[in-house]
Chain A
Amino acid sequence: MIEQVIFFALAAVAIISAIAVVLSRNLFHAVMILGGFLLTIAGFYFLLNADFVGIMQVFVYVGGVIVVMLFGIMLTPHEANITNAAKLQQKLGTYIAVAALIGLLAMIFIRTTFITSPAEPVKDTVSLAGKLFMTNYVLPFEVISVLLLAALVGAIIVARKEEH
Chain B
Amino acid sequence: MNVPLEWWLILSAVLFGIGLIGVLLRRNAVMILLSVELMLNASNLNLVAFSRYITPNLASGQMFALFVMAVAAAEVAVGLAIILSIYRNVRSVDLDDFNIFRW
Contacts and interface: CB of A to CB of B under 8 A. Distances in A.
Interface of A: 1-4, 7, 11, 14-15, 18-19, 21-22, 27, 30-31, 34, 37-38, 41, 44-45, 47-50, 52-53, 56-57, 60-61, 64-65, 68-69, 71-73, 75-77, 80-81, 83-84, 86, 90-91, 94-95, 98-99, 101-102, 105-106, 109-110, 114-117, 119-122, 125, 128-129, 132-133, 136-137, 140, 144, 147-148, 150-152, 154-156, 158-159, 161
A18 B52 CA distance: 24
Chain B interface mostly: helix
Interface of B: 1-3, 5-11, 13-22, 24-28, 30-31, 33-35, 37-38, 41, 44-45, 48-49, 51-57, 59-60, 62-63, 65-67, 69-78, 80-85, 87-88, 91-94, 96
A138 to B, nearest CB: 11
29 contacts: A7-B7, A22-B21, A22-B26, A27-B28, A37-B41, A47-B3, A48-B8, A49-B52, A53-B44, A56-B66, A60-B70, A60-B73, A65-B72, A68-B76, A68-B80, A83-B31, A94-B21, A106-B10, A109-B13, A117-B53, A129-B63, A129-B66, A147-B71, A147-B74, A148-B73, A148-B74, A151-B73, A151-B77, A158-B85
